[in-house]
């Protein structure tokens, strides 16, 4: 199979991911019909201390992507974009609130940041620059419009199932770019002929897009095989509380812990530092790579940009609820960092079209890489 065919096949696989609730009808509906229909608020890993050589800015942005935000702040404060710290990427077509950090010498010029699209809501000093992944999660408020008749009851039935069973921790279509362009770019970078030069941000995004797509395929296979909550000999599990990975050496013991939500199967985010499975579990993961013309060695040249890790196959949102809002529905949830609200919405609506409206921007972070 050619490189182009591999890219097409991997992208098609993202468009046909199985549902966890295929037996429950969806409510239909459209997200992001209006800018205020999608709100994301970052939950910081810690609050700034009040002293130090950096200033943490609690920013609200409206209808602006992550790169545009960094460019704007850098221009307003006469900084390099590399001087600005950011914990995670937020949706472009949304109202989002998050921390960024800038050097303390900019403090007197912060008013220059405010525009119709960007506001500094508060500023506090701290001792270190904000780094990628330094957040606990995100709180979402989402309005679903044009829902089907009986949509509230349908959505509430799905919510009840997800609260019990969890949500497949797929990466949303935002991760792959419009029509899979970012994914195709990343797969090309991992091929034997690597000619295109990219900036660091786009390079990371393209490479992580391939990791994410392969993870989705591994998760889809477990869901289709009905092994999503089964312990398999030699596979890697993750402790829910700490995220620590370990190998299964006692299937019976770990099966009980999976059912108790103490541990969860952890799928591959391929890279040189990823914890390898053993036996048949490893063979399945290597076969997944081979299916798309890759091997573990393909990730080696990218060093720290593509370290690799493990990612939980299931997540349990907190505060998950759906309520009527006139003729529409309001969905609220809190998700751990790196998980996608659009994936939970996909289960509610039974539609990929709504979640792909803003396929150029991630509502997550790049901490997995």
List, for residues 89-123, the tens digit of each pLDDT value.
888 889 999 999 999 999 999 999 999 999 999 99
Task: Evaluate if residue 196 carries a pLDDT over 70.
Answer: no
Residue range 268-288: average pLDDT?
Answer: 96
Q: 352 versus 316: which is more confidently predicted?
A: 316
CA distance 195 to 106: 39
Residue range 17-38: average pLDDT?
Answer: 95
| Beta-carbon contacts of residue 2 (< 8 Å; ≥ 6 apart) | none
Residue 354 banded pLDDT, cuts 50, 70, 90? very low
Count the neighbouring beta carbons within 10 Å of the beta carbon of residue 11: 18
Residue range 179-186: average pLDDT?
Answer: 93
Tokens of 352: 């990929």
Task: Evaluate if residue 365 carries a pLDDT over 60.
Answer: no
CA distance 86 to 92: 15
Please say whether the beta carbons of 94 and 32 come within 8 A.
yes
| Beta-carbon contacts of residue 164 (< 8 Å; ≥ 6 apart) | none
pLDDT of residue 193: 67
Please say whether the beta carbons of 121 and 60 come within 8 A.
yes
Q: What is the pTM of this model?
A: 0.89
CA distance 66 to 96: 11
* Buried/exposed code over 152-191 (b: 16+ C-beta within 10 A; e: otherwise): bebbbbbbebbeeebbbbbbbbbbbbeebebbbbbbbbbe
Residue range 266-292: average pLDDT?
Answer: 96
Residue range 340-358: average pLDDT?
Answer: 76
Please say whether the beta carbons of 81 and 61 come within 8 A.
no
pLDDT of residue 367: 41
The ranges assigned to domains in the chain are 3-26+162-315, 46-132
Residue range 271-281: average pLDDT?
Answer: 95
What sign does the CA torsion over 330, 333, 337, 340 have?
A: negative
Task: Evaluate if residue 83 carries a pLDDT over 70.
Answer: yes
Angular region, 312: left φ>0, alpha ψ -120 to 50, beta rest: beta
Task: Evaluate if residue 213 carries a pLDDT over 60.
Answer: yes
Task: Evaluate if residue 181 carries a pLDDT over 50.
Answer: yes
Task: Evaluate if residue 1 carries a pLDDT over 90.
Answer: no
Residue range 202-220: average pLDDT?
Answer: 94
Residue range 74-85: average pLDDT?
Answer: 96
pLDDT of residue 3: 60
* Collapsed DSSP state (helix, strand, coil) of residue 35: helix
Q: 256 versus 351: which is more confidently predicted?
A: 256
Strand partners, 324: 329
Residue range 321-332: average pLDDT?
Answer: 96
So which residues are the catalytic ones? 91
Q: Can 3-26+162-315 and 46-132 be said to share one CATH topology?
A: yes
Q: 5 versus 37: which is more confidently predicted?
A: 37
Q: What's the pLDDT tens digit per position in 28-72?
A: 999 999 999 999 999 999 999 999 999 999 999 999 998 899 999
Tokens of 1: 């199979």
Residues in the chain, overall count: 369
Q: Out of 3.30.1330.180, 3.30.1370.60, 3.40.640.10, 3.30.2350.20, select the CATH number for domain 3-26+162-315.
A: 3.30.2350.20
Homologous superfamily, domain 46-132: TruD, catalytic domain (3.30.2350.20)
pLDDT of residue 199: 80
């Amino acid at each position: 199979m050619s490189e182009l065919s591999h890219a097409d096949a991997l992208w098609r696989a993202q468009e046909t991911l199985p549902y966890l609730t295929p037996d429950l009808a969806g409510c239909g509906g459209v997200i992001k019909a209006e800018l205020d229909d999608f709100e994301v608020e970052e939950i910081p890993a810690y609050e700034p201390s009040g002293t130090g050589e950096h200033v943490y800015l609690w920013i609200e942005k409206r209808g602006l992507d992550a790169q545009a935000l960094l460019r704007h702040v850098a221009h307003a404060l006469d900084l390099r974009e590399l001087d600005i710290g950011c914990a995670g990427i937020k949706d472009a077509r949304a109202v989002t609130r998050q921390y960024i950090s800038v050097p303390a010498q900019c403090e007197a010029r912060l008013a220059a940041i405010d525009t119709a699209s960007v506001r500094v809501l508060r500023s506090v000093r701290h001792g270190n620059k904000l780094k990628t992944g330094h957040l606990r999660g995100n709180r979402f408020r989402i309005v679903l419009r044009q829902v089907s008749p009986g949509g509230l009851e349908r959505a509430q039935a799905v919510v009840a199932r997800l609260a019990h069973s969890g949500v497949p921790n797929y990466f949303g279509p935002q991760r792959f770019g419009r029509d899979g362009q970012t994914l195709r770019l990343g797969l090309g970078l991992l091929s034997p002929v690597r000619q295109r030069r990219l900036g660091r941000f786009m390079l990371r995004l393209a490479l992580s897009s391939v990791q994410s797509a392969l993870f989705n395929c591994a998760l889809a296979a477990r869901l289709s095989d009905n092994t999503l909550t089964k312990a398999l000999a030699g596979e890697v599990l993750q402790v829910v509380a700490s995220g620590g990975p370990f190998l299964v050496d006692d299937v019976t013991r770990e099966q009980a812990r999976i059912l108790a939500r103490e541990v969860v199967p952890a799928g591959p985010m391929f890279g040189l530092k990823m914890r390898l499975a053993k036996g048949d579990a490893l063979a399945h993961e290597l076969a997944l790579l081979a299916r798309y013309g890759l091997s573990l060695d393909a990730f080696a040249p990218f060093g720290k940009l593509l370290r690799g890790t493990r990612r939980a196959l299931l997540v349990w949102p907190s505060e998950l609820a759906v309520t009527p809002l006139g003729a529409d529905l309001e969905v609220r949830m809190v998700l751990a960092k790196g998980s996608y609200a659009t994936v939970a919405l996909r289960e509610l609506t039974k539609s990929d079209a709504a979640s792909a409206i803003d396929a150029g921007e991630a509502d997550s972070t790049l901490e997995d890489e």
